[in-house]
Amino acid sequence: MSDKPALIYTTFGSSAEAKQLARTLIEEKLIACANHLAPAVSQYVWEDELCEDEEYPVLLKTMGSQAAVAMARLKTLHSYDTPAILCWFVDESDPDYTKWLSGQVAE
């Protein structure tokens, strides 16, 4: 478990799904907030086919102690078969922000 903030990055096929899933994770106290980024063009190979799609990236903020649980729940709720779910821990952050963040997520 970590008392450091953690950032979880993922993408969605629609803005509506991104907003609904983020709302669920906030209500379940797994994340404190979500930053919805501008639509992006993603290029990748899926089932041996080169794909290019518009996706909706989201940066989810939580505490390290909740990161694994938040990622597992995100994967369960996500509509993609294999969603990109990436997490990294923050080495430095504003103490007041970290205190607020910690107070928003479940222990």
- Rounded to whole angstroms, how far apart are CA atoms 36 and 57? 6
63-95 residue pLDDT tens: 999 999 999 999 999 999 999 999 999 999 999
> pLDDT tens across 28-40, in order?
999 999 999 999 9
Helices 15-27 and 64-77, interaxial angle, to 10°? Answer: 130
Q: What is the Cα–Cα distance from 92 to 25, expressed in whole angstroms?
A: 24
Q: What is the pTM of this model?
A: 0.94
- CB-based contacts of 78, cutoff 8 Å, min separation 6: 10, 12, 21, 85
Q: What average pLDDT does the segment 14-31 reach?
A: 98
Compute the 3-state secondary structure of the chain and give helix, strand, coil in percent, each to the nearest 5. Answer: 35, 35, 30
